[in-house]
Amino acid sequence: MSRRPVIAGNWKMNLSADDAIALAAAVRDRCGRFRDVDVVIAPQGMMLWPIARRLEGSPVGLAAQNCHWADKGAYTGEFSPVQLKETGCTHVIIGHSERRQYFGETDEGVGKKARALHDHGLIPILCVGESLQQRESGQTIAVVSSQVAAGVAELSDDELAETIIAYEPVWAIGTGLTASPEQAQDVHLEIRNLLSRLANEATAQRVRIQYGGSVKPSNVRELMSQADIDGALVGGASLTIDSFAQLVAHREDFDK
C-alpha cells in the first residue's frame, strides 16, 4: 500500500522569535510547493501564533511540541488541545523521549493525550523508542511495543489510521548516530505488525510511521526507500532551510 510520506521538523528549544518566523516563511516558500509529501514544522510554543499566521494558505502543517490532555484547568505552563487548535496547529508531538526522560511522561499519559487530540481534530505524532541499554539487552521490540500499545489504547481504528507514529531510538537522537536503514525497517515492520494485531491489517497499512534520530540529507533517501518507513521526524537538520528542503525533496543536492 502506498502511504503519503510526512517530513516533520522538531525545532525543540532553539531559534529566536525572529529567526523562527523567518525559517517558517522559508519552509512555506520552498517546501510548501511539494505535492507528494506532507510537511510539518514544530516550533516552540511561544512562536506558534505568529508562525501560524505566516503559514496561512500554505499546505505546511504546524505542530506543537507537547500538550496536556485536559481542555482547561490549573495546569501551569501547559497548553490544552483546545488552545492549540485555536492557535492554528494541525499536529502535536507527544511522548518524545526528551519529555519522557526529563519531565516524567508516562505511557498512560501519552495515551490520554492521543485521545484528547483526536477529540479536537488534531493529529498526534506519537514518539516511541528504546535507549541504548535497552537495545543492547535485546529489549527493543518489547519496549517499543509497550509504548505503542499504551499510546493508541483509547483510539478507534479510524483514529489510529490518522495517527502518525515516530520511531526514534533514543540512542540516535542528537548523537550523530543513526540506525541503519535495515535496523529501522525491522522495528517499523514490528510496529506495523503490532498495529495489525491491535486493530486490523487494513488499518495498520494506513498508519504512517516516521523514523527519527540524526536524520540528515545524506541518509534520508536510503531510509525512505524502506518499505515501512513513511517519513522522518527531524531535529537538528530542520533548523536551516537548505538542509530541511533537501530532506523534504529526499535529495542531498536539492538547494533551490
Q: Any idea which of 35-49, 218-232, 242-256 has the lowest mean pLDDT?
A: 242-256
The model's pLDDT over 29-71, given as tens digits with 9 standing for 90+, comes to 999 989 899 999 999 999 999 999 999 999 999 999 999 999 9
Flag whether 217 is in a domain: yes
The model's pLDDT over 158-177, given as tens digits with 9 standing for 90+, comes to 999 999 999 999 988 777 77
Q: Work out the percent of the chain whose per-residue pLDDT is above 70.
A: 97
- For residue 104, the model assigns a pLDDT of 95
Q: What is the mean pLDDT of residues 22-29?
A: 98
pLDDT grade for 251, boundaries at 50, 70 and 90: low
Q: Say how far residue 148 (Cα) sits from the centre of its chain.
A: 14
- For residue 92, the model assigns a pLDDT of 98
CA-nearest of 132, 197, 122 to 164 is 122
- For residue 256, the model assigns a pLDDT of 53
| Overall number of domains in the chain | 1
Q: Which entry of 98, 130, 168, 250 is annotated as an active-site residue?
A: 168
118 given a catalytic annotation: no
Q: Give the other-Cβ count within 10 Å of 63's Cβ.
A: 26
Contact 118, 162 (CB under 8 A): yes
Flag whether 149 is in a domain: yes
pLDDT grade for 209, boundaries at 50, 70 and 90: very high
Structural domain that includes position 231: 6-249
Flag whether 1 is in a domain: no
pLDDT at residue 214 above 60?
A: yes
The model's pLDDT over 171-198, given as tens digits with 9 standing for 90+, comes to 887 777 778 899 999 999 999 999 999 9
168 given a catalytic annotation: yes
Contact 65, 93 (CB under 8 A): yes
Flag whether 73 is in a domain: yes
- Separation CA 86–CA 120 (nearest Å): 10
The model's pLDDT over 8-21, given as tens digits with 9 standing for 90+, comes to 999 999 999 999 99
Flag whether 255 is in a domain: no
pLDDT at residue 77 above 90?
A: yes
Flag whether 143 is in a domain: yes
Flag whether 72 is in a domain: yes
Flag whether 256 is in a domain: no
- DSSP lists the bridge partners of residue 234 as 9
- The answer to whether the predicted template modeling score (pTM) of the entire model surpasses 0.75 is yes
The CATH number covering residue 130 comes to: 3.20.20.70
Q: Which entry of 91, 96, 118, 250 is annotated as an active-site residue?
A: 96
